[in-house]
Chain A
Amino acid sequence: SQKIEQNSEALNIQEGKTATLTCNYTNYSPAYLQWYRQDPGRGPVFLLLIRENEKEKRKERLKVTFDTTLKQSLFHITASQPADSATYLCALYNFNKFYFGSGTKLNVKP
């Protein structure tokens, strides 16, 4: 089955810096990959989607890269703010199902 790995350790950075989160997957390469944000006690919220034929996608301060050779996606938040503090989940879509990683918690300190 599809396996997705995200760093389980929290990422602590200073406000204004760029946060970079990693998502690695095994087995089948997905048609596309997504990133979600989850705040404590709330449901995940969709942020960005990148397709297999796209190397990079941007949305405001967010940037996602997708390397199907390495089976890896990187998620960047530039000029990070304390309000960006949350858990970020990586998800793949294969065989009619969404597969989610366990997420990486980001703490942005003022």
Chain B
Amino acid sequence: DADVTQTPRNRITKTGKRIMLECSQTKGHDRMYWYRQDPGLGLRLIYYSFDVKDINKGEISDGYSVSRQAQAKFSLSLESAIPNQTALYFCATSDGDRESAFFGQGTRLTVV
């Protein structure tokens, strides 16, 4: 089983719809992140959380919200999806200041 699991893996949704992407981890890490990846732009940070009571905006948080339901669960919501939110979304975890990031398999989201 994957250490960081994202659901769904693929999703097509219509403009204006609300959609939630979910992430769960079994690594026991406190820190969780949401990134989006677009061709040529690399991974850009949307939100991050260092524990259940800590939520922080990343560089591109507009149009997104998150919820940290438990240490192991971090969900990303698009309240009203728009076509330029079409991208590959990744959840990641890390443990402490000087450790690497562990990524999920990604969610490919298409907004039509």
Contacts and interface: CB of A to CB of B under 8 A. Distances in A.
Contact of A93 (B58, B90, B97): B97
B100 A102 contact: no
A103 B33 contact: no
A101 B42 contact: yes
Q: How big is chain B's contact interface, by range? A: 20 to 34
B33 A98 contact: yes
B50 A96 contact: yes
Chain B interface mostly helix, strand, loop or mixed?
strand
Contacts of B45: 97-99
B42 A100 contact: yes
Chain A interface mostly helix, strand, loop or mixed?
strand
Contacts of A1: 59
6 contacts: A1-B59, A34-B100, A97-B33, A98-B45, A100-B35, A103-B42
Given A31-B98, A36-B101, 8 more contacts: A34-B100, A41-B106, A42-B105, A43-B104, A44-B43, A89-B43, A98-B45, A102-B41
